[in-house]
Amino acid sequence: MTSDGGKGNFVVRQSLGGAIAFSLTQTNDTTGGATNVNRANFAGLTMNEFNGNQVNANVNFGQGTGTNVIALDPTQWHEFWIVLRKDPANIGTHQGFIYLDGSLTPLVFRITAGDGNDYPQSYIAFGGTATPQNWALDVDFFGYKIGAEFPPGAFDKIPPDITALSPGDNVTFYPPGNGISLSVTTQGTNSLPPSGFKLTLNGADVSGGLNVTGTPQSRTATYTNLATNTIYKGEIMVSDQAGRSSTNKLLFDTFVESTGVLIEAEDYNFNSGQFADNPAPAGYFGFAATPLVDYFDKTDTTFGTYRDADEVDTQSGTDTVRAKYSDAGATEYDVGLVEAGEWLNYTRTYPAGNYNVFLRASATAPQQLLLDRVTGDRTQPNQTTTSLGTFSITPTGRLNVYGYTQLNDASGNPLSVNLSGVQTLRLTAPNANIDVQENFFFVVPAPAAPPRITSATISNGMITILWANGGTLQSKTSLDPQITWTDLE
Ligand SMILES: [Ca+2]
Ligand SMILES: [Ca+2]
Ligand SMILES: [Ca+2]
């Protein structure tokens, strides 16, 4: 299996483009140097995992999406024709087309190159995946060509290429007015019928809202009906005239910062209850907080990053970089090394209203973080608090992969909180064990609740109906067309 950031049985490394490794993997193989942990429990061809579009160290087996595998019996002879090229959609660093045992229909993967190397220049290597491991491999031959060279006759069977897709993977605060857009090309004798474009968002097929233009071999599609302050999950699939398709997952949100209050996890109070509304990116740099007044942290050390004057473990972030930060040339930070019982206070000023709260965090185990309102004096120790709700975080798999969790009640139902004026919120991690990291939370006005009938009574020949949340009561003198009423059992 791929280990050490792009090492395996066969390695292709570009000095500037990173390393991609392919390995024939058996179920008992392990990643790295340990011989008895991290078993593959998989037999077949494995390669660098997909983990974004930047060369990085976290592409080893078990560190990405886990989808870059082809199940087969590696103790039998197989032939692989592998075409590697830069990912035209910039979703992974590379795209891999794998033709197995003479088939002209490829299995296509998005791959992320690793930063591992055994030699600083570009090279092709053949060997074991990690120095401490025993291994055996029978190879008849291998050869290479420079460039993306497809097998003879395979050219007309390449699925459509999605060459640009906006928004990118796991983008946050994406402007809804930008919509979704993609470019798709195909080659040879293939074409792209507009009916082959399918868009699914949050479980609904919204393909009808796609505007598809261009020529039969080069098309652009746009979708402009994005709502603000919405978390979107979905996929875009494009099929050619023969039904060969390419699919891209979509995961992004359309939060608009100006509509709510955005609080960076690393921007906890300083100097005993001091705070700033709307700080600039990395605007609390160097500010020292007071233990047991502004925070509680279990280790007296710190990463030495961002706010190294106190004990809270702030560090450079690994979440998708937000435009706000890249535009400002600022570094993103988050809070790591979170241990059981640690808490942080955040004071901000809120326009009066009901708010939903979304926490941006990563976790390798299910975690419940608590959001409380500080009711005592935020400048003194021993503050009293009341509960506002819980963030029940579903593991994101790795600490460098972030997702949203909405504040919910004890039953797991989303809830809104009423905030007005200067408020101090406290984020507590009662059970954390260095398995959760916090990036920010976004406090966004809750949508108006729909009208709701609260009671309907009959007394002295009069029907009294009470309802909440506005609206207008309407009536109709007959139900038309005529319907038949049936007794309830
Ligand atoms: Ca610490
Ligand atoms: Ca800590
Ligand atoms: Ca942050």
pLDDT tens track for 143-190: 999 999 999 989 889 899 998 899 988 999 999 999 999 999 998 899
Q: How many other β-carbons are positioned within 10 Å of the β-carbon of residue 332? A: 21
The residues, any chain, with a CB within 8 Å of residue 191's CB and separated by 6 or more, are: 216, 217, 240, 241
What is the C-alpha separation between 177 and 166, in angstroms, rounded?
A: 12
What is the C-alpha separation between 386 and 338, in angstroms, rounded?
A: 22
Closest ligand, as measured to the CA of 341: 2
- Residue 249 carries which side chain, given as an amino acid letter? K
More confident residue, 17 or 206: 206
What is the C-alpha separation between 237 and 108, in angstroms, rounded?
A: 14
Closest ligand, as measured to the CA of 291: 1
What pLDDT does 62 receive? 81
Please give the distance, rounded to the nearest whole angstrom, from the Cα atom of residue 382 to the centre of ligand 2: 20
Name the token pair of 368: 């419940």
- 383: pLDDT strictly greater than 90: yes
Please give the distance, rounded to the nearest whole angstrom, from the Cα atom of residue 337 to the centre of ligand 3: 14
Cα→Cα distances 192→163, 195, 199, 208, 234, Å: 14, 8, 15, 16, 21
Residue spans of the domains in the chain: they are 1-157, 161-253, 259-445
Please give the distance, rounded to the nearest whole angstrom, from the Cα atom of residue 426 to the centre of ligand 1: 18
H helix or E strand, kind and range, residue 424: strand 417-429
- Cα-flanking dihedrals φ and ψ of residue 177, to 5°? -65, -20
- Please answer whether residues 265 and 315 qualify as being in contact, where contact means their C-beta atoms are separated by less than 8 angstroms: no
What pLDDT does 474 receive? 84
What pLDDT does 475 receive? 81
- 33: pLDDT strictly greater than 70: no
Architecture of the domain whose range is 259-445:
Sandwich (2.60)
Q: How many other β-carbons are positioned within 10 Å of the β-carbon of residue 73? A: 11
- Please answer whether residues 400 and 293 qualify as being in contact, where contact means their C-beta atoms are separated by less than 8 angstroms: no
pLDDT tens track for 195-238: 999 999 999 999 999 999 999 999 999 999 999 999 999 999 99
What pLDDT does 385 receive? 97
pLDDT tens track for 237-295: 999 999 999 988 899 999 999 999 999 999 999 999 999 999 999 999 999 999 999 99
Please give the distance, rounded to the nearest whole angstrom, from the Cα atom of residue 316 to the centre of ligand 3: 9
Q: What is the DSSP letter of 209?
A: G
Closest CA to 108 of 56, 55, 61, 50: 50
Class of domain 161-253: mainly beta
Please give the distance, rounded to the nearest whole angstrom, from the Cα atom of residue 334 to the centre of ligand 1: 13
What pLDDT does 409 receive? 93
How do beta strands 211-215 and 245-253 pair?
Answer: unpaired
Please give the distance, rounded to the nearest whole angstrom, from the Cα atom of residue 434 to the centre of ligand 2: 8
Q: How many other β-carbons are positioned within 10 Å of the β-carbon of residue 114? A: 30
- Residue 289 carries which side chain, given as an amino acid letter? A
Closest ligand, as measured to the CA of 332: 3
The residues, any chain, with a CB within 8 Å of residue 429's CB and separated by 6 or more, are: 338, 339, 340, 341, 342, 343, 367, 369, 370, 436
Closest CA to 32 of 5, 56, 51: 5
When pLDDT is averaged across residues 426-435 and rounded to a whole number, the result is 96
Please give the distance, rounded to the nearest whole angstrom, from the Cα atom of residue 348 to the centre of ligand 2: 23
Closest ligand, as measured to the CA of 434: 2
28-33's contacts with Cβ under 8 Å and 24+ in sequence apart are 29/1, 29/129, 30/1, 30/133, 31/1, 31/2, 31/3, 31/60, 31/61, 31/62, 31/129, 31/130, 32/3, 32/4, 32/60, 32/130, 33/130, 33/131, 33/132, 33/133
Q: What is the maximal distance between C-alpha atoms in the chain?
A: 95
What pLDDT does 243 receive? 95
3-state secondary structure of 383: coil
Q: What is the DSSP letter of 30?
A: B
Give the position of tokens 């809804």.
Answer: 176
Q: What is the DSSP letter of 289?
A: P
Closest ligand, as measured to the CA of 268: 3
- Please answer whether residues 360 and 404 qualify as being in contact, where contact means their C-beta atoms are separated by less than 8 angstroms: yes
Name the token pair of 189: 């004798």
What is the chain's mean pLDDT, rounded?
A: 93
What pLDDT does 468 receive? 83
